[in-house]
Amino acid sequence: MTNIPDVPRAPDAPRPPEVPTTQEHRFPCDTCGGDMRFDPGDDRLVCDHCGHLEPLTPRTDAIAEIAIARGLDAGTAPQEETRVADCPNCGARFEFDPAIHAAECPFCATLVVTDTGTDRHIKPAGLVPFQLEQAQAKDAMKRWLGSLWFAPNGLTKYVRDGGRLKGMYVPFWTFDAQTDTAYTGMRGDTYFVTQTVIRDGKPVTVQVPKIRWTPRRGRVRRFFDDVLILASPSLPKSHTDALQPWDLSGLTPYAPQYLAGFRAEAYRVELSDGLEEAKQKMREVITRDVRMDIGGDQQQITGMQTRMSDVTFKHILLPIWIAAYKYRGRSFRFVVNGQTGRVQGERPYSAWKIAFAVIAALILAGIAAFLYAGAQGGFDIGGAGGGFGVPGGDRIVVRDVGGLGPANAPSWLDD
């Protein structure tokens, strides 16, 4: 198994920098004083009250990678402090306007009534701005719901009648690393031998596959660029993984103006934990590289030793539209990639729609059986002996019980 060593921490780390003033990500309109918001798809702020537009100056400076030792040692990476609220149901920690005292959690639709606190964390180095407006995200969600069977009417009505999606910047870590792996193993090549076997009492010549194993050793190198790790447990990884791929070439240096009108979640997966998850992803890729380097039809890996160098990281924010819907006391979440429009979510099932579908299927099966029976010769009701025939030649005799017999059968039996 790959042994990716721990990254050494920097000795005698300098004193952590002073934490800047708490960020509030509000930008008043110069014309009317109302709050402006970032306009997805355009590098500008827009005021929904008076329509005033304020272009954002594009930033061309590169997004700096931070040495991993700076992030792991006493918070020597750049820091910021934001006002946040904690959801009592799902535990999500997200930025909260201190002027608002109650709102729905964007992740589970639970009402959050809060005395807003603060959160100190590594400052984002970059973000991918929203490219989809809420209406575009809602259209993508409608198309996704249209492909679902047995969805409750309330869910489709929620989206059709203005169910609100919330724009959220979700935290991620990215990791870069140069890896150098020495390995030992065995290469298996298939060859065939001719053997005679007895089949049905007769000798038969067959080709039997065998494996010839040869020792192998070697070295593989790979540079990992932007290994992406979700830095929040608020959304299931199956959801966020399904939103990939992200076009990280769209990353822009962090600026609070891009958060205007949106919320940003604070990371809850610490950098050290994110690094361990990134190492696991690297191990899987390195293992594939080793198998390819060994070659042959089969491979056995008996040892791998990996050395990591030039390990860096970034804290970035990625745009996701989120809708949380409650059905029969449970919360269901739907997410839309705010860059590409890909949709993923948890979906409830309508019990009555499933029951109706089962009943309809049984009725159709009964009708089909009746038509098939008729096509095979039909029913011979009433014939000789007071019985009626069924396919297959058998007869069922109707006896005279209480005056109801062949002679007194109801008239509808003769139709």
pTM: 0.71
Among residues 232, 228, 188, the alpha carbon closest in space to that of 210 is found at: 188
Q: Nearest 10 degrees: CA dihedral of 156, 142, 105, 319?
A: 180
- Digit-coded pLDDT (tens) for 172-229: 999 999 999 999 999 999 999 999 888 888 999 999 999 999 999 999 999 999 999 9
| pLDDT attached to residue 60 | 79
CB burial of 270-307 (b: ≥16 within 10 Å; e: otherwise) equals ebeebbebbbeebbeebbebbbebbebeebebeebebe
Which tokens is 183 given? 């390995």
Q: In angstroms, rounded to a whole number, what is the distance separating the alpha carbons of residues 390 and 376? A: 10
Q: In angstroms, rounded to a whole number, what is the distance separating the alpha carbons of residues 324 and 103? A: 13
| pLDDT attached to residue 129 | 94
**32 with 49: CB under 8 angstroms?**
yes
Among residues 166, 98, 92, 168, the alpha carbon closest in space to that of 127 is found at: 168
Give me the residues of the chain with pLDDT under 50, please.
1, 10-23, 99-102, 381-385, 388-390, 393-407, 409-415
Q: In angstroms, rounded to a whole number, what is the distance separating the alpha carbons of residues 102 and 118? A: 17
Q: In angstroms, rounded to a whole number, what is the distance separating the alpha carbons of residues 110 and 85? A: 12
| pLDDT attached to residue 258 | 92
- How far separated are the first and last CA of the chain, in Å rounded? 80
Bridge partners of 84?
A: 95, 117
Q: Nearest 10 degrees: CA dihedral of 259, 265, 271, 272?
A: -170
| pLDDT attached to residue 21 | 37
Q: In angstroms, rounded to a whole number, what is the distance separating the alpha carbons of residues 363 and 358? A: 9
Q: In angstroms, rounded to a whole number, what is the distance separating the alpha carbons of residues 393 and 387? A: 12
CB burial of 235-251 (b: ≥16 within 10 Å; e: otherwise) equals beeebbeebeebebeeb
Tell me if the bond preceding 245 is cis, omega within 30° of 0: yes
| pLDDT attached to residue 388 | 47
| pLDDT attached to residue 274 | 96
**Left if phi > 0, otherwise alpha if psi is -120 to 50, otherwise beta: which for 372?**
alpha
State the alpha helices, DSSP H only, in 63-179. Answer: 68-72, 134-146, 153-160
